[in-house]
């Protein structure tokens, strides 16, 4: 009986030591005895078509065209964006050392003049936006699709802002044209370089405002926002 009591006391002391050690090390008694507990993490949800890929809405007086980008990760998509055909197109209104992940193109088609008050200036705006089309087979995560949808909305907002400046400035030019005395004066005004320099100045000022107060809701994605590291949206 005495021997049994000694054994029980020894077991109790060992258990107390295990409990004290657990409190100190954060390990469970099973771990202290060499039995590891299995910890599992939930794998990221894979994408099978839901949520859908965001479809850019129309922009007034502009045509939207798409160019393809690829990748199964943010890094790969960024690389595709930064090596696209438009990535290094020159833009004197853009901040230096940036690449384009979207673009707007302006083309003046002119018009005819019978008399200045009836002149309507014809022009085209083309917005180039990236299109990412992963297969809905689980090869990408739902989170990556959400991050892409957020990014393409910022790019769309940015380019729509440029389109608004073109519309406003062209309306002002046309209003002035209709006040001129003759069709010859109209031609002279439209061929004078300063006439259209205000558009470039306004576009450059738009970029300056965006980068001074860079927020996604106004068309600027700061580096690192939602995991997107690139300079990204510039025009």
pLDDT digits (tens, 9 = 90+) for 161-174: 999 999 999 999 99
Give 97-129 pLDDT, tens digit per residue.
788 999 999 999 978 899 999 999 999 999 999
Copy the structure tokens of residue 113.
């003049």
Give dist(CA 109, CA 112) in Å, integer: 10
Provide mean pLDDT across the span 143-160.
Answer: 97
Give 176-217 pLDDT, tens digit per residue.
999 999 999 999 999 999 999 999 999 999 999 998 999 999
Give dist(CA 126, CA 24) in Å, integer: 66
> Which of 171, 130, 123, 162 has its CA nearest to residue 149?
130
Please report which residue ranges of 33-141 form alpha helices under DSSP H: 74-82
SS3 assignment for 8-27:
HHHHHHHHHHHHHHHHHHCC
**pTM exceeds 0.85, yes or no:** no
What separation in angstroms does the CA of 99 have from each of 13, 18, 36, 234, 235? 69, 60, 50, 7, 9
Domain boundaries, the chain: 2-32, 63-227
Residue 40 banded pLDDT, cuts 50, 70, 90: low
């Amino acid at each position: 009986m005495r021997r049994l009591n000694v054994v029980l006391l020894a077991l109790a002391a060992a258990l107390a030591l295990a409990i004290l050690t657990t409190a100190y090390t954060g390990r469970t008694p099973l771990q202290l005895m060499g039995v590891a507990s299995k910890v599992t993490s939930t794998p990221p949800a894979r994408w099978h078509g839901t949520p859908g890929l965001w479809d850019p809405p129309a922009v007034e007086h502009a045509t939207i065209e798409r160019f393809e980008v690829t990748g199964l990760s943010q890094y790969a998509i960024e690389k595709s964006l930064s090596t696209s055909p438009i990535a290094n197109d020159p833009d004197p209104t853009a901040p230096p050392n940036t690449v384009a992940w979207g673009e707007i193109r302006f083309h003046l088609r002119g018009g005819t003049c019978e008399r200045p008050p009836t002149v309507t200036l014809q022009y085209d705006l083309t917005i180039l936006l990236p299109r990412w089309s992963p297969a809905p087979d689980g090869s990408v995560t739902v989170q990556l699709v959400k991050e892409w949808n957020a990014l393409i909305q910022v790019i769309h907002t940015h380019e729509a802002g440029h389109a608004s400046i073109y519309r406003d400035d062209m309306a002002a030019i046309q209003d002035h044209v209709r006040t001129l005395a003759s069709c010859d004066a109209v031609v002279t005004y439209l061929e004078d370089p300063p006439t259209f320099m205000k558009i470039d100045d306004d576009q450059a000022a738009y970029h300056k405002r965006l980068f001074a107060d860079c927020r996604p809701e106004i068309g600027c994605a700061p580096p690192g926002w939602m995991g997107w590291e690139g300079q990204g949206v510039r025009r």
